[in-house]
Amino acid sequence: MTSPPPTPPTSAPTTAPAPRATPPPSTPPVPLAELLARTDLGLRQIAGPREGVAIHWVHTSEMADPVPYLLGGEMLLTAGMHLAEVTGGAPALESYLDGYAARTVAAGAAALGFGIAPVHDTVPAALVAACDRHGLPLVEVPAGTPFTAVESAVWQAVTEARHRELTRLSEAQRALAAAAARPDPAAAVLRALARHVRGWTALLAPDGTEHGSSGPRPADAVRAAAGRLAQVVGGDGGGAGAREGAGGPSSATDALPGAQLSAYALTGRGPGRQALALVVAADPHDPPAHTIAGVAAVLLSLITGPAGDRGPAATGHAAALVRLLVGARPAEVAPLLGAPLWTVVHAERRRETTGSAASLATALGTPLLAPEQETHPAATDAPPPGPALRALVPGDREITAQPGWTLGVSAPVPVEELPAADRHAATALRRALAQHAPLVRHRAPGPHGIASLVTADDARQHARALLAPLSDSPPLLDTLHNWLSLHGNWDRTATSLGIHRNTVRQRISRIATLLDTDLDDADVRMELWFALRALDRDAATHR
């Protein structure tokens, strides 16, 4: 709030702009009601809807048009400095504020916070009316509450929610794995799944025959809807991932308020044989529940599929897993996997998708898919979080964009190079999220580029000497790498790393000081990029 605001327009469009597509937030939602309940903040909602409002992050701006800097899902904080530039009296101010609220809603912001003092003693009545008109929650931030306190409260709540999510996923995966090792594995997995998704689970044949279920006994209408879904995914009517819930075509709406039925095809189809289906009734707004169901679907596919149907490829995968678990080196295991080359895929689920992990595995053509278990960073200097899912795909398969998912894809590599490919896929996914692209592939530098004119040893020695001041700070090296790869764009770098753009600026300023160089100089940037690439190649060689 220290820089002078640009002169805002004195009029606004008579019609609100169409909502733009926004990337899925990478953070769990924080209910606005949770922030309003904190007495230390003293926040008060004075306009807009009161129910179902969720905040993913906070952005502060005194610009007349902050839309280019909004990602969607944030609480936009302003002290109203830009209102002082509006000329033309009350009608012009009302028109301006109407356009401001409309653009903020169209950009996907979840709420607007207006700070009392130092510019305004009260929230302008025209802004209250505009927010009510456009359905934008408006929160009054009292004079004694700095914007940083609101931002800190949101990130604290996000971190706690992420920790709860990841703890739940980790516990569920362990429970499902343990259940799969019991004498009656299918029934044990259904029981563990019902407990961890907090709903009802069933294993159904396409004709509705139940091969096991667990959880609270549903109403007849729900069971009928489940049977229809099992027929869709298990018969000839469709594939995995079909859903039916509130607002759907059946009477399950009344019997299953606020829940959703999801069905996953388990065993592959063949002549004269139909697939079993896993049907799960869970909260549609509970992403961890659907991730857990996807893991269970993969386990049940292995449990229920006849060993003869799994073929030599699956047998090879199982043998390779056993060898790895008892300490064999990847190079020794590689021949058992069949494919000489493998591609690593990192995937993030978009906010609007209802696709399951199992359906993504089917689309990619691989059963080798697992949820990520890394924790969300609690501090700004922590490394960025891992993907929601990662998969191993045979290198000869073409990987295309998948509806509802953002993908980062490595180049095909032999098994011994999978650790480097995993890093490349992670970098590609961060770039995809920053660029709002559905899929980004890692591209290795060509063999005849400028870098090939310098020997690897010379390049490595030069890179280590040039970047020595940063050698003890991986976050600074990671920030410099991302910032240069994204052409110095602050906001895209912040999105890529999962940190605030002010943190990016602080790190880049610190890097410039440590390196005693001018990062605005294109020659300097290019030399640093070549040095970072040399370190990347060196790290890949030694993994």
What ranges do the domains of the chain cover? 30-156, 182-305, 339-444, 450-541
Distance CA 442, CA 468 (A): 26
* Homologous superfamily of 30-156: HprK N-terminal domain-like (3.40.1390.20)
3-state secondary structure of 380: coil
Say how far residue 171 (Cα) sits from the centre of its chain: 20
- So what's the pLDDT on residue 444? 64
Question: Which residues are within 8 A (CB) of 90 and not within 5 positions of it... i.e. 6 or more apart?
Answer: 126
Of 202, 238, 370, the closest CA to residue 298 belongs to 370
- Burial class of residue 95 in the structure, from the number of CB atoms within 10 Å of its CB (0-12 exposed, 13-18 middle, 19+ buried): buried
Contact 395, 343 (CB under 8 A): yes
Contact 286, 164 (CB under 8 A): no
Of 156, 154, 166, 65, the closest CA to residue 110 belongs to 154
Of 214, 177, 156, 158, the closest CA to residue 371 belongs to 177
Cis peptide before 19 (omega within 30 of 0): no
98-110 residue pLDDT tens: 999 999 998 889 9
Distance CA 535, CA 238 (A): 48
Q: At what angle do helices 474-485 and 418-435 cross, to 10 degrees?
A: 60
Kindly report the backbone phi and psi dihedral angles of residue 132, in degrees, each rounded to the nearest multiple of 5, phi listed first.
-65, -40
CB atoms within 10 A of CB 201: 26
Go through 245-260 and write b for each residue having 16 or more CB atoms within 10 A of its CB, e for each that does not: beebebebbebbeebb
Gyration radius of the chain's alpha carbons = 26
CATH for 450-541 is 1.10.10.2840
* DSSP of 16-71: PPPPPP-PPPSS--EEHHHHHT-TTTT-EEEES--SS-EE-EEEE---S--GGG--
Joined together, the tokens standing for residue 163 give 């920790």
- So what's the pLDDT on residue 304? 72
Which residues of the chain, if any, have pLDDT below 70? 1-27, 233-259, 267-275, 305-339, 352-355, 371-388, 444-454, 537-543
**Model-level pTM greater than 0.75?**
no
Distance CA 261, CA 243 (A): 6
* DSSP of 424-457: HHHHHHHHHHHHT-SEEE--PPPTTSGGGGS-HH
Say how far residue 131 (Cα) sits from the centre of its chain: 29
Distance CA 282, CA 172 (A): 15
3-state secondary structure of 366: coil
- So what's the pLDDT on residue 6? 38
Lookup result for tokens 């999105």: 495
- So what's the pLDDT on residue 23? 47
Assign domain 182-305 one CATH number from 3.30.450.30, 2.115.10.20, 3.40.50.1000, 3.20.20.480. 3.30.450.30
Joined together, the tokens standing for residue 39 give 């007495």
430-484 residue pLDDT tens: 888 888 889 999 876 555 455 555 677 777 888 888 888 888 888 888 899 888 8
Distance CA 121, CA 180 (A): 63
Distance CA 76, CA 412 (A): 42
In this structure, the strands spanning 74-78 and 57-60 are parallel
Alpha helices in 486-521 (DSSP H): 490-497, 501-515
Of 310, 295, 485, the closest CA to residue 390 belongs to 295
Count CA within 13 A, CB hemisphere, residue 84.
Answer: 11
Instruction: State the amino acid at position 127 in one-letter form.
Output: L
CB atoms within 10 A of CB 140: 18
Cis peptide before 28 (omega within 30 of 0): no
Question: Which residues are within 8 A (CB) of 246 and not within 5 positions of it... i.e. 6 or more apart?
Answer: 253, 256, 257, 258, 259, 260, 284
Contact 208, 277 (CB under 8 A): no
Distance CA 384, CA 74 (A): 19
- So what's the pLDDT on residue 148? 92
Joined together, the tokens standing for residue 273 give 């044989």
State the greatest distance between any 2 C-alpha atoms of the chain, in Å, as a whole number.
80
- So what's the pLDDT on residue 86? 87
Give how far Cα 255 sits from Cα of 247, 285, 362, Å: 12, 18, 31
Contact 443, 411 (CB under 8 A): yes
3-state secondary structure of 12: coil
Joined together, the tokens standing for residue 417 give 């190079």
Distance CA 344, CA 57 (A): 30
3-state secondary structure of 119: coil
- So what's the pLDDT on residue 386? 47
Kindly report the backbone phi and psi dihedral angles of residue 235, in degrees, each rounded to the nearest multiple of 5, phi listed first.
-100, -140
